[in-house]
Amino acid sequence: MLLVTGGAGYIGSHFVKTYLDTHPQAQVVVVDDLSEGHREALAFSDRIRFIQEDIGNVEGMIQVLQSQGIEAIVHFAASCYVGESQTNPTKYFQNNVVKTLNLFKAMDQAGVKRIVFSSTCATYGNPVRMPLDETHPQNPINIYGLTKLMIEQALRGYCETLGWSAFALRYFNAAGADESGLIGELHDPETHLIPLVLRAAQGKSKAIDIYGEDYDTPDGTCIRDYIHVTDLAHAHIKALEKLQASTGFDAINLGTTHGASVKEIIAICGEVTGKPIPVNVAGRRPGDPPRLVANADKALNVLGWKTQFDLRTIIRTAWAWEEGGKYATDRLTASHA
């Protein structure tokens, strides 16, 4: 049986949906404390055993691992705001490091040795070369990236000493929503570019702030590698398959290799929505490198995975989710019919 921690969150719920869609006989166990996730994000299937629990509760997690017959874990549960990690580092060290080390303690005691871990390109820090490959130095410039790096290193240690098998998957910019429209991105507060641009298109905000247009990039705005959340989910499935036949630790970038600038995103959002998008040029956001793009060769070579969805599909599915009323009860009920 597979355990998904943080399965009620944005990326976690898309993983659960994609996993169940591609494994029609399977069930999964989800542990989430619902501090950030949404119970409705898992209403699309009755093949989910939902357990509201804190991953930092060692006794509680040993009980879950043993009673549910858990053989492998996909670990998404974490706090994920870079800005907040700088103002409240204690929250990030506790939630992302201490609680994850407690989960590892529970795994050790219950004899679970396989795990896929959500890591991030924020572990690299300021790029010294581009595109970023997995051998790029890891010098995170924010607490969020540091907490993820600390766990990568702990995992490497468990793999070397106790024979665990683990992948750390370093995400670039996750975006978009499941094609069904049943689940999508719902953060509070929302800080990510694409949902904020779409809300400006809906008239829910006065304008989208562009954080700096004086960078050394072709149009002066920052470039990021936006990857569809369902593509990310498929990479986790490939990683799980690979873990069954191997031991040891490996880290792999999940990105598209294509960068898009803030202004390019706004332009495509305008085309997809057919709506004018008012912009406001604001100052630079501290800690934003001008360009972050993945080298994704290793994902192809090791996992046999590459992305399927383009930027337009990312924005089209994100728009359908924003316009569809989010976890609308009528659609969730219809999904079981």
The interface with ligand UDP within residues 228-267 (CB under 6 A) comprises: 262
Q: Which of 81, 144, 171, 215 is catalytic?
A: 144
Which of 23, 187, 285, 312 touches ligand UDP (CB under 6 A)? 285
Is 226 part of the annotated catalytic residue set? no
φ, ψ of residue 212 to 5 degrees: the values are: 95, 130
Q: How many CB atoms lie within 10 A of CB 280?
A: 11
CB of 224 to ligand UDP, least distance (A): 5
User: Which residue's CB is nearer to ligand UDP, number 64 or number 194?
Assistant: 194
Which of 60, 211, 324, 331 touches ligand UDP (CB under 6 A)? 211
Number of residues that bind ligand UDP (CB under 6 A): 14
My answer on whether omega of the bond before 286 falls inside 30° of 0, hence cis, is no
| Residue 227 found at the interface with ligand UDP (CB under 6 A) | no
CA distance readout (Å), 40 to 7, 231, 232, 328, 337 = 11, 22, 21, 9, 16
Distance CA 32, CA 19 (A): 17
Contact criterion met (CB below 8 Å) for 31 and 7: yes
| Residue 200 found at the interface with ligand UDP (CB under 6 A) | no
- Span interacting with ligand UDP, options 142-150, 151-159, 205-213, 229-237, rule CB under 6 A: 205-213
User: Which residue's CB is nearer to ligand UDP, number 19 or number 226?
Assistant: 226
| Residue 173 found at the interface with ligand UDP (CB under 6 A) | yes
User: Which residue's CB is nearer to ligand UDP, number 81 or number 117?
Assistant: 81
| Residue 222 found at the interface with ligand UDP (CB under 6 A) | yes
CB of 174 to ligand UDP, least distance (A): 9
Distance CA 134, CA 250 (A): 10
| Residue 199 found at the interface with ligand UDP (CB under 6 A) | no
| Residue 193 found at the interface with ligand UDP (CB under 6 A) | yes
User: Which residue's CB is nearer to ligand UDP, number 110 or number 196?
Assistant: 196
Count CA atoms within 13 Å of residue 214 on its CB side.
5
| Residue 213 found at the interface with ligand UDP (CB under 6 A) | no
Three-state secondary-structure class, residue 77: coil
Contact criterion met (CB below 8 Å) for 158 and 101: no
CA distance readout (Å), 332 to 15, 40, 46, 335 = 17, 8, 12, 5
The interface with ligand UDP within residues 10-49 (CB under 6 A) comprises: none
Which of 224, 234, 236, 242 touches ligand UDP (CB under 6 A)? 224
Burial pattern 312-337, b for ≥16 Cβ within 10 A else e, equals ebbbbbbbbbbeeebbeeebbeeeee
- Span interacting with ligand UDP, options 59-67, 208-216, 235-243, 310-318, rule CB under 6 A: 208-216
CA-CA-CA-CA torsion sign (197, 316, 237, 33):
positive
User: Which residue's CB is nearer to ligand UDP, number 68 or number 313?
Assistant: 313
Distance CA 298, CA 168 (A): 13
Residue showing tokens 């562009």: 210
Contact criterion met (CB below 8 Å) for 80 and 40: no
In the complex, which residues of this chain contact ligand UDP (CB under 6 A)? 173, 191-193, 196, 208-211, 222, 224, 262, 285, 288
Catalytic residues: 144
